[in-house]
Chains A and B, each alone.
Chain A
Amino acid sequence: MSQALEIGINPADVARNRAVGAGLVNDPYPVYDRLRETGPVQRGAISQAFGVPGPEASGPWADRPQFACYDWATADAVLRDAQTWSSRWYEPTLEPFVGNSIIQMDEPEHRRYRALIQPAFTLREMERWRERWIEPAAHALIDAFAARGRAELYMELCARLPVQTIASSFGIPVADVPHFHQLTVAMVGVTNAGSERLQAAREIAEYLDRIIAERRAAPQDDLISLLLGVEIPAEDGTRARLDHDEILAFARLLLPAGAGTTYRALGTLLLALLRDPGQLEAVRADRKLLGPALEECLRWEQPLTAVSRLATRDTELAGVAIPEGAVMHVCLAAANHDPARWEDPHRFDLRREPRPHLTFGSGPHLCVGMHLARMELRTSMNAILDRLKALRLDPDAEPPIMTGLLFRMPSAVPVRFEP
């Protein structure tokens, strides 16, 4: 019986983790295997297959026929075909709070808007992100506990670094980040009361409005200044600046997106390596292994396990008839464990040769933050390996577990090291 786990850095985070299955589902992979073996397309939402409440199965689309896919080829195909599989699924649960953001747009509108921020998130830009925001944040967070000889890394480092990074890129001072974190999580938690989400969204807007006004007067090299300066081409070729609502929508999407996923991925990576001291030592001794370790961990246990789409027309997928308006849940985590693509897929093995996986999605909505996520993971791990000697799981603490359904996360990462 799963214990009632309380995981989170603030009350909104604890509630969110519970809503996404923390403490309810610990090992989903045997169930995914069974579903995948039955056929490439299944009826029913993913949480229904587990008999747990799931945010993705409830809400405004609950009366539509629900389907799900659990294998690599089908999942990849759905995500690449944005004409058939619309992202408007996200509109009812996000637009009232975040605004009309790229996560819910279809083509050609989606491409035009995404193109505005893509240049800020390229691989080449990541050096600047690392230098300006990621590395200073990682070391400051480690400074707080380095002399102590022990820490709960999941809360003291993993939960803080990504939100601090993205918030800094928006010009939010470090001191304000914890409050901001609570607001962003409250805003996107679909099981929260609408009024609570609206209040959080409004408070974020008020705060960002102050920064927007400052940057209008004096642009800096950051995301708000970028959003103020870009021009978006319309279909008739004319160009215009983004309006206030459009800028807010970008910000209110990127802040929780940046905060919520890399946080869990970093905790998972630490737990995976700490459970296997041999692999941890190999990486510490040869940092060239860090890239493959990181990539394998993203495949093996990813922070966000599923995305959803709406069928724009009557269609067929892997021989199954899908009516227009039906919901398709794409189980990325099951696809990443497809034995047709990876041998012994449930095993974390950094010596596996990396190959494309679905952790960041596929098709036009491929995660715009993926290079940033990898840079945060890499930079944090390097800082940890450099500074925390004899790092090991705390033998006196409860052994941590991996848990969650829609999101996956460690229950904790309690460690000891040489002070």
Chain B
Amino acid sequence: MTEPRIRIDRERCMGSGVCQFWAPATFGLDDDCKSVVVDPQGDPEAAIQHAVDGCPTRAIEVEKCNTN
């Protein structure tokens, strides 16, 4: 089974909310106005990829890891 692991670089993140726009069930913003992962499978893969591509500071990384 493949489960995506989403990492957000909080230093790079500028709180623009682009990720929330493209994948609203996956990403949120915390009280420091930084992106957080709410549910790594909240949205379809394509939407999460849009969030990754759209991030203005390239703060999001998605890794696929295998779990047995």
A interface vs B, CB < 8 Å? 80, 111, 114-115, 118-119, 122-124, 353-356, 362-364, 366, 368, 370-371, 374
Contact = CB atoms under 8 A, between A and B. Distances in A.
B32 to A, nearest CB: 9
Given A122-B29, A123-B21, A115 B15 contact: yes
Given A118-B33, A122-B29, A80 B17 contact: no
A355 B33 contact: no
B15 A111 contact: no
Interface residues of B, number: 18
Contacts of B57: 363-364
Given A123-B20, A371-B21, A364 B54 contact: no
A111 B17 contact: no
B7 interface: no
Interface string B27-53: 001000100000000000010001001
Interface of B: 14-18, 20-22, 24, 29, 33, 46, 50, 53-54, 56-58
A371 B17 contact: yes
A115 B14 contact: yes
B62 to A, nearest CB: 15
B14 to A, nearest CB: 6
Q: Which among A356, A368, A374 has the highest number of chain B CB atoms within 10 Å?
A: A356
Contacts of B15: 115, 118-119, 122
B16 A118 contact: yes
Contacts of B21: 123, 370-371, 374
A115 B53 contact: no
A118 B50 contact: no
17 contacts: A80-B58, A115-B14, A118-B14, A118-B33, A119-B15, A122-B17, A122-B29, A123-B17, A123-B29, A353-B46, A355-B50, A356-B18, A356-B50, A356-B54, A364-B57, A366-B18, A374-B21
